Amino acid sequence: MEKACIDINELVNVFSNTQGSIYQSDKLNCFYVDFGGKFARFNCLSLQKLKAVVENIDIEALLLNTHKADFELVTFNGCEHIYLLSALEILALKDLLQGTFTMFKLNHMISDCLYRLVY
Domain ranges of the chain: 8-117
Q: Which of 6, 13, 96, 16 is nearest to 50 (CA)?
A: 96
Kindly list the distances between the CA atom of residue 33 and the CA atoms of 27, 63, 106, 112, in Å, as whole numbers in the listed order.
Answer: 16, 25, 20, 27
Instruction: Assess contact for 94 and 55: CB atoms under 8 A.
Output: yes
**What pTM was computed for the model?**
0.86
When comparing pLDDT for 80 and 42, which is higher? Answer: 42
φ, ψ of residue 50 in degrees (nearest 5): -60, -45
Alpha-carbon 16 to chain mean position: 10
Q: Write a three-state SS string for 29-87.
A: CEEEEEECCEEEEECHHHHHHHHHHHHCCCHHHHHHCCCCCCEEEECCCCCCCCEEEEH
pLDDT tens-digit profile of 1-35?
555 566 666 899 999 999 999 999 988 999 999 99
Per-residue pLDDT tens over the stretch 63-118: 898 888 889 999 988 888 899 999 999 999 999 999 999 999 998 888 878 777 66
